Amino acid sequence: MDVTIQIPDDLATRLGTADLPRRALEALAVEEFRAERLTQAELRRLLGFATRQALDAFLKAHEVYLSYTVDDLNQDRDDLRRLGF
């Protein structure tokens, strides 16, 4: 899907046209992820990142931190024990 937005010329000049479509996409994607309307996998696909590390770096750069609770930690520890680690 293509989306077109209208920005007044004076504001577009001030914002800079270099990478403006990508910046708009990233801003939308970050807000939708924060609102929990996109999963990590969907966000990665939307932004075209080849690796999870690239997505993690993007999220860190935008000060988006994943929720990781004590229950999550305990589940991960249990899973690792089951796998023999």
Q: Provide the pLDDT for residue 1.
A: 87
Q: Provide the pLDDT for residue 45.
A: 97
Rounded-to-integer distance, Cα 26 and Cα 24, Å: 5
- For the chain, list the strands marked E by DSSP: none
Q: Provide the pLDDT for residue 3.
A: 86
Domain boundaries, the chain: 9-82
pLDDT tens for the chain, 85 residues long, are 888 889 898 998 888 878 889 999 999 999 999 999 999 999 999 999 999 999 999 999 999 988 889 999 999 999 999 999 9
Look-up of token digits 């209208």: 6
pTM over 0.85: no
Nearest to 30 by CA among 38, 19, 18, 22: 38
